[in-house]
Copies of this chain bind each other. A is one copy, B any other.
Amino acid sequence: MSPAGSPRWSPTTEQLMILEELYRSGIRTPSASQIQQITTHLSFYGRIEGKNVFYWFQNHKARDRQKLRRKLTKQLQLQQQQQQQLQLHHHCPKLNQDHFTNHFVGNFGYSTLRSTTHDFPFFNPPSLLFQGGAANTSSEQALSCKWNVHNPQSNLVESKEMAFCNYGWTLVDVDNNQASSCCTTRPVKTLDLFPLTTTRISEDCTTPPK
């Protein structure tokens, strides 16, 4: 029933574990090069394509956020309920200073949580990686585009290449092996994503965080 091609990728346990490891390590929106490297690496454990890696991170990030939001709104509701219950039970016993103070503190706590929901405290920027060769410049008329750009700062002509990333296309600076400057430039470093053999992965993270 599923000999060669299932219409939809489903990650093997090892693939999932590695992906989650990478996610935990801070990677959220891998670049094209990263995706390629991850894909290559994970294809050792089973069929996988670049788009699968791409979508996995996309969804995982989104659903993390979603989970957080729900948690917070639930907390908020609980808090509000508790407040109401307090008010109900005590039923305006005196309308004294204490009453108002309590109320205010409650609201304050709420708005704090809200703002936390918006700018997520997602660790440090992702640790990036670029291999020596980068994406091999394949046939000219392929679906990836290449072009040259004159950099007024360095007064040099850099060749750019379109690669998929972050929905749609993203630029890959071919010369520097670096994410293009047209995106908000994040600190891009040359780290190795897989410095060890992957056996180290199966250390203790047997239960993926629910």
Size of A's binding interface in residues, CB under 8 A = 35
* A153 in the interface (beta carbon within 8 A): no
> Shortest distance in angstroms between A117's beta carbon and chain B's nearest beta carbon?
25
Asked whether B5 lies within 8 Å of A51 as measured between CB atoms, the reply is no
Nearest CB of B to A31, in Å: 11
**Does A150 have its Cβ within 8 Å of any Cβ on chain B?**
yes
A130-166: which have CB < 8 Å to B? Answer: 135-136, 138-139, 141-145, 147-150, 157, 162-164
- Whether A142 touches B145, Cβ cut-off 8 Å, given contacts A5-B150, A5-B157, A168-B54, is no
Query: Of B4, B58, B144, B149, which contacts A157 at CB under 8 A?
Result: B4
**A42 close to chain B: CB less than 8 A:** no
User: Which residues of A49-71 have CB atoms within 8 Å of chain B's CB atoms?
Assistant: 49-51, 54-55, 58
Q: Which of B3, B51, B136, B142 contacts A135 (CB 8 A)?
A: B142
Q: Is B54 within 8 A of A143, CB to CB? A: no
- CB <8 Å contact, A32 and B143: yes
Q: Mark A1-23, 1 if CB is under 8 A from B, else 0.
A: 00111010000000000000000
Q: Which residues of chain B are near A162, meaning CB under 8 Å?
A: 49-51
**Interchain CB contact under 8 A, B50 and A143:** yes
B182 touches A7 (CB 8 A): yes
For A178, list chain B residues within 8 Å (CB): none
Neighbouring B residues of A139 by C-beta, 8 Å: 136, 138-139
What 14 new A-B contacts, CB under 8 Å, besides A3-B150, A49-B162? A5-B147, A36-B141, A36-B143, A50-B145, A51-B168, A51-B169, A54-B168, A55-B168, A136-B139, A138-B139, A143-B163, A164-B168, A164-B169, A167-B167
